Structures are given as C-alpha cells and as structure tokens.
C-alpha cells in the first residue's frame, strides 16, 4: 500500500457535504491510477477554493 497526498477544497458557499470537497492537487512523482470519481472531481475544480486541508488517499 502506498499513500499519496491530496489537497481537499471546501466550497463554503454551499452546505458541507461530500460533494463540496474537491481534489485540488496531487503530490506524487509517478503516474498512478485514480478512480473515475476522483478524476471527474479534479476536472470539476478550476481554482474555486476557499479553504484547503490535507488528507491522504490509500492506493493499492
């Protein structure tokens, strides 16, 4: 198992639900397979961040 760090973005203008958290960026040197949900989430986000927190995503 390896961990990669993702930055989570919370849109404060909406209610606090999982859909309001977006992957802001991924710290990883090598290309890794990302789930389709995370990929589409990254596409949705285009610099509309109000607060950033760090979280870790487990990969196989």
Q: Quick one: how many helices (H) and strands (E) in the chain?
A: 1, 3
Assess whether pLDDT exceeds 50 at residue 34: yes
Domain locations in the chain as residue ranges = 2-59
Confidence at residue 3, expressed as pLDDT on a 0 to 100 scale: 47
Q: What is the pLDDT of residues 17-31, one digit of tens each?
A: 444 444 444 444 334
Backbone angles phi, psi at 33, to 5 degrees: -75, 130
Q: What are the angstrom distances between the C-alpha of 31 and each of 21, 25, 26, 34?
A: 22, 13, 10, 9
pTM of the model: 0.20
Residue ranges of alpha helices (H) inside the chain are 36-44
More confident residue, 60 or 51: 60
């Amino acid at each position: 198992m390896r961990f990669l760090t993702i930055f989570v973005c919370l849109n404060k203008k909406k209610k606090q639900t999982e859909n309001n958290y977006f992957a802001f960026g991924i710290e990883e040197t090598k290309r890794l397979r990302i789930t389709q949900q995370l990929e589409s989430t990254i596409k949705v986000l285009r610099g509309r961040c109000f607060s950033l927190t760090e979280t870790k995503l487990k990969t196989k």
